[in-house]
Amino acid sequence: MTDVASTTILSRTQEGDLSVEIGGDYVTTVEICRPPENFFDQALIRGLADIFEALDADDRCRAVVLCAEGKHFCAGANFASDRSAVDDGSGLHLYDEAVRLFSTHTPVVAAIQGAAIGGGLGLALFSDFRVATPESRFSANFARLGFHQGFGLSVTLPRLIGLQAAMDLLYTGRRVRGEEAHALGLCDRITQAEDLRVAAHDWAVEIATSAPLAIQSIRESLRGDLAAEIRAATDREKAEQERLQKTDDFREGIRAMSERRRPDFKGR
């Protein structure tokens, strides 16, 4: 990377793009560019992990804004059309790349427009903070699809909003709008859609003006062994997802989602 005030880098994955802009205010913007849904796959999460690891070593970056192009922040993995989204044959699983993300050290403020659904919610909760709009939607919809939650949500969701609220969202898969999400603690600040990126960036600038070594030390104290907890959680999440994806209920959940109807689960 060249030593300039502002640099734009494009990191291309197999099926989409990640845009990285390094600003002169010690804030880097990382944008997912797969509009409108911004579905992720293993290649995209690997690309994000590569970028965040590189930013950890770049003294021009003290805070990151994570955002997405288009209608939604991230609608998760597109299981209806891409069953290889979590395992591309590389020898690593999607959740191995997620653990790499959780192991990085730079504070992240996510700008959540539209939906953060399923694994997209997991990606949103990787961030230290979330700014959303009244129209934003959050959902851990895994049970509605007939399988187990993933992306470390077994750890991050109850850690953020408490066990009872986490059980409610995981058992029902219901969608939570911005104001309720703010009340629950799923997001930290609410702003109007037209101000979302600016609000997230301004917050990141506030963080970036603090002493970077102190911020890193404080963050490590507060997060504790989070990466190790995510590793243990995703090991179980992966095993349970693989088991439940062999069931009739999972196949019915995917069909119902594609056909936009209520699933008729049989418990087998």
Q: What is the pLDDT of residue 88?
A: 62
Amino acid, res. 37: E
Query: Minimal CA–CA distance to 184: which of 204, 158, 205?
Result: 158
pLDDT over 60 at 177, yes or no: yes
Give 90's pLDDT tier (boundaries 50, 70, 90): low
Tell me if 204 is assigned to some domain: no
Residue-number span of the structural domain to which 181 is assigned: 7-193+212-259
Tell me if 207 is assigned to some domain: no
Give 17's pLDDT tier (boundaries 50, 70, 90): confident
What is the share, in percent, of the chain residues with pLDDT greater than 90?
87
Mean pLDDT of the chain: 91
* Contacting residues for 147 by C-beta, under 8 A, at least 6 apart: 240, 241, 244, 245, 247, 250, 253
Query: Minimal CA–CA distance to 85: which of 39, 50, 121, 129?
Result: 39
Q: What is the pLDDT of residue 59?
A: 95
Give the CATH number of the domain where residue 156 resides. 3.90.226.10
* Contacting residues for 172 by C-beta, under 8 A, at least 6 apart: 143
Tell me if 267 is assigned to some domain: no
pLDDT over 90 at 190, yes or no: yes
Query: Minimal CA–CA distance to 238: which of 95, 46, 128?
Result: 95
Tell me if 232 is assigned to some domain: yes
Tell me if 245 is assigned to some domain: yes
* Nearest-angstrom CA–CA distance, 38 and 268: 32
Output the CA torsion sign for 216, 219, 223, 226.
Answer: negative
Give 91's pLDDT tier (boundaries 50, 70, 90): low
Tell me if 202 is assigned to some domain: no
Tell me if 56 is assigned to some domain: yes
pTM for the full model?
A: 0.90
Q: What is the pLDDT of residue 86?
A: 64
Q: What is the pLDDT of residue 79?
A: 67
Give 78's pLDDT tier (boundaries 50, 70, 90): confident
Q: How many domains does the chain have?
A: 1
Q: What is the DSSP letter of 148?
A: -
Tell me if 200 is assigned to some domain: no
